[in-house]
Amino acid sequence: MAIVIGLTGSIASGKSTVSLMFDEFNIPVIDADKISREVVEPGEEAYEKIVATFGESIVREDGKLDRKELGAIVFENEEKRKQLNEIVHPAVRKSMLEKRDALIEQGEKCVVLDIPLLFESKLTHFVNKTIVVYVDEDVQLKRLMERDGYNEKEAMQRIQSQIPVKEKANLADEVINNNGTKFETLEQLDQILRKWNVL
Ligand SMILES: CC(C)(COP(=O)(O)OP(=O)(O)OC[C@H]1O[C@@H](n2cnc3c(N)ncnc32)[C@H](O)[C@@H]1O)[C@@H](O)C(=O)NCCC(=O)NCCS
Ligand SMILES: Nc1ncnc2c1ncn2[C@@H]1O[C@H](COP(=O)(O)OP(=O)(O)OP(=O)(O)O)[C@@H](O)[C@H]1O
């Protein structure tokens, strides 16, 4: 029986950082953020729906979505964020499940689904075990502002659009504390995977 791990956390808590560590263990990761970019490429059904809903101002000159502009709209307005989710999420879910099943079919013993909104979207039935990558909110805010160049208001809007990472930690099978160094994070991941007999 393959084990399917749901990797989650809050924005900028360190999911992608932990994802890269799974790569080093040769464990495949299916990345919901990456898929959510693929399913909105021009010509895809979700793309057409987004343009019809949000208007031409969120389309760049090259025809692709202006993600910065769309982000500014949806993180300012909860109703619009929900509308966008309703368009994008079904296609993301379908693709993730197909990829998960194909990897298991190929004989992978462990597959990771990296899903930022695993708990918000109630997708825990997609996985057998959950890991939350936790950081204190001050560390999260600082890393988010540094990584994406948001001001404090923009960063806080994004943090507050999700269930607080502290609450997510209570829902997880295992928690990785990513306040420290990346090496300390790797050590915690290594321990969890040994405990689950994945390594
Ligand atoms: C709003 C969009 C255009 C902004 O794009 P941008 O390139 O700036 O950000 P990116 O997609 O890399 O997301 C960065 C992080 O923001 C958070 N986030 C993204 N979308 C959402 C959302 N709808 N609600 C809450 N948090 C979100 C996640 O933690 C994600 O890891 C984009 O995030 C989007 O299309 N979101 C809707 C789809 C979605 O929910 N994706 C997240 C997981 S499937
Ligand atoms: N232990 C750490 N020490 C220092 N910086 C870190 C650490 N972990 C992550 N970072 C940095 O913090 C930022 C956020 O991390 P990362 O991109 O992995 O978060 P994420 O949870 O994948 O974010 P998102 O939800 O936006 O996809 C990045 O710039 C990353 O390099």
- Helix (H), strand (E) at residue 159: helix 152-160
> How far from chain centre, in Å, is Cα 191?
22
Q: In this structure, what are the phi and psi dihedrals at residue 68, rounded to the nearest 5 degrees?
A: -65, -45
Domains of the chain and any CATH numbers:
3-195 (3.40.50.300)
What's the gap in Å between 116 CA and the centre of ligand 1? 8
194: exposed, middle or buried (Cβ count in 10 Å: 0-12, 13-18, 19+): exposed
Which atom of ligand 2 has the smallest separation from the CA of 133?
Answer: 21
**Token pair in block for residue 7:** 């990797």
Q: What is the pLDDT of residue 131?
A: 99
**Could you tell me the CA-to-CA distances from 98 to 67, 76, 113 in Å, in that order?**
26, 33, 12
What's the gap in Å between 193 CA and the centre of ligand 1? 28
Interaxial angle between packed helices 182-195 and 15-24, expressed in degrees from 0 to 180 and rounded to the nearest 10:
60
Residuewise pLDDT in 10s, the chain (199 residues)? 899 999 999 999 999 999 999 999 999 999 999 999 999 999 999 999 999 999 999 999 999 999 999 999 999 999 999 999 999 999 999 999 999 999 999 999 999 999 999 999 999 999 999 999 999 999 999 999 999 999 999 999 999 999 999 999 999 999 999 999 999 999 999 999 999 999 9
Q: What is the pLDDT of residue 56?
A: 96
Which atom of ligand 1 has the smallest separation from the CA of 88?
Answer: 38
Ligand 1 shell residues, CB under 6 Å: 11, 32-33, 36, 67, 70-71, 74, 81, 84-85, 88, 92, 116-117, 158, 161-162
Distance between CA atoms of residues 172 and 15, nearest Å = 14
What's the gap in Å between 117 CA and the centre of ligand 2? 16
Q: Contact, 118 vs 163, CB < 8 A?
A: no
Task: Record the pTM.
Answer: 0.98
**Could you tell me the CA-to-CA distances from 95 to 18, 36, 45, 113 in Å, in that order?**
22, 9, 14, 11
Q: What is the pLDDT of residue 1?
A: 84
